[in-house]
């Protein structure tokens, strides 16, 4: 209890600049944990939806029927499902206009490339903020540390008989700023690296699916042309 009271006292009696630093770091920590939680849910859902849709896609279902199912499920049109919907809609449009196979394939690939880029942007959103928090928080904490130590030594120089007890509170409050900077930075850096890896894996899944779908649609188009 005394340790808690002394810690609370150090924070409340810190200089105004150090208190601002602590508030910034506390806000950054809270924001990073909000982003970490939200991105965990988003990436987990994207993985589950990709697995579910690819299982359905490769089950042998008719692509036209699958397209109609995807169009009806407006709340699930993200990730692989969205890429499929975009590519197949372009395939239907170009096929109705009797575009030749090469132009049809190029048009489908362009539309799916745009869809893949949009899904990647959605997954990447706010990750840069995590990286920023992870990179600058230690420096903000270091600024608070330097300020607190500087203030403590200035106060020490103003007295004739100096003692460790006189500078200890100032140094302690400075070290608290450093600890808060690390507390904000470490989870943000760990989460950023982990999520970037997961997003890269999902991006490869999206790109591979787009290529496979383009190949299937090209094959279907050739079969229809020959018939």
Per-residue H/E/C for 131-146: HHHHHHHHHHHHHHHH
- Looking at residue 59, the DSSP 8-state letter turns out to be T
Other beta carbons within 10 angstroms of residue 93's beta carbon come to: 14
Within a domain: 211: yes
Within a domain: 94: yes
- Identify the CA nearest to 24 among candidates 211, 146, 181, 145: 181
| CB-CB contact of 223 with 111 (8 Å) | no
Within a domain: 227: no
Within a domain: 202: yes
Quick one: tokens of 94?
Answer: 């170009």
Ranges of H-type helices in the chain: 2-12, 16-57, 63-72, 80-96, 101-124, 127-157, 164-226
- Identify the CA nearest to 203 among candidates 136, 126, 121: 121
Within a domain: 2: no
Angle at which helix 16-57 crosses helix 164-226, to 10 degrees, equals 20
Residue recorded with tokens 């970490």: 36
pLDDT by position in tens, the chain (length 227):
344 446 666 677 677 888 899 899 999 999 999 999 999 999 999 999 999 999 999 998 899 899 998 888 766 568 999 999 999 999 988 877 766 778 888 899 999 999 999 999 999 999 999 999 999 999 999 998 888 888 777 767 666 665 666 667 677 777 888 999 999 999 999 999 999 999 999 999 999 999 999 999 888 776 555 55
Backbone region of residue 125 per phi and psi (left: phi > 0; alpha: psi in -120 to 50; beta: other values): beta
- Number of domains observed in the structure of the chain: 1
Question: Domain span at residue 177?
Answer: 16-221
Q: Please report the pLDDT score of residue 5 as a whole number.
A: 44
Helix (H, G, I), strand (E, B) or coil at 175: helix
- pTM of the shown model: 0.82
Q: Please report the pLDDT score of residue 2 as a whole number.
A: 41
Report the alpha-carbon distance of residue 152 to residue 164 in Å, rounded. Answer: 10
Q: Please report the pLDDT score of residue 51 as a whole number.
A: 93
Within a domain: 61: yes
Within a domain: 3: no
Quick one: tokens of 177?
Answer: 């700023």
Report the alpha-carbon distance of residue 107 to residue 4 in Å, rounded. Answer: 65
| CB-CB contact of 10 with 176 (8 Å) | yes
Within a domain: 1: no
């Amino acid at each position: 209890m005394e340790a808690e009271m002394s810690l609370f006292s150090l924070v409340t009696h810190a200089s105004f600049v150090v208190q601002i630093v602590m508030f910034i770091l506390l806000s950054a920590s809270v924001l990073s944990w909000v982003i970490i939680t939200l991105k965990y849910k988003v990436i987990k859902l994207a993985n589950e939806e990709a697995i579910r849709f690819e299982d359905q896609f490769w089950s042998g279902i008719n692509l036209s029927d699958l397209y109609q199912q995807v169009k009806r499920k407006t709340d699930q049109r993200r990730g692989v499902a969205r890429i499929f919907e975009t590519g197949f809609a372009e395939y239907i449009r170009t096929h109705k206009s009797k575009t030749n196979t090469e132009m049809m394939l190029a048009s489908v690939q362009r539309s799916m490339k745009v869809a893949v880029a949009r899904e990647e942007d959605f997954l990447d959103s706010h990750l840069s903020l995590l990286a920023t928090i992870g990179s600058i928080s230690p420096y903000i904490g270091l600024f608070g540390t330097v300020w607190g130590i500087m203030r403590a030594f200035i106060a020490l120089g103003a007295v004739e008989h100096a003692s460790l007890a006189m500078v200890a509170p100032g140094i302690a409050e400075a070290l608290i700023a450093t600890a808060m900077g690390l507390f904000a930075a470490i989870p943000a850096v760990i989460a950023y690296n982990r999520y970037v890896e997961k997003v890269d894996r999902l991006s490869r899944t999206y790109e591979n699916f787009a290529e496979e779908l383009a190949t299937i649609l090209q094959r279907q188009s050739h079969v229809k042309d020959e018939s």
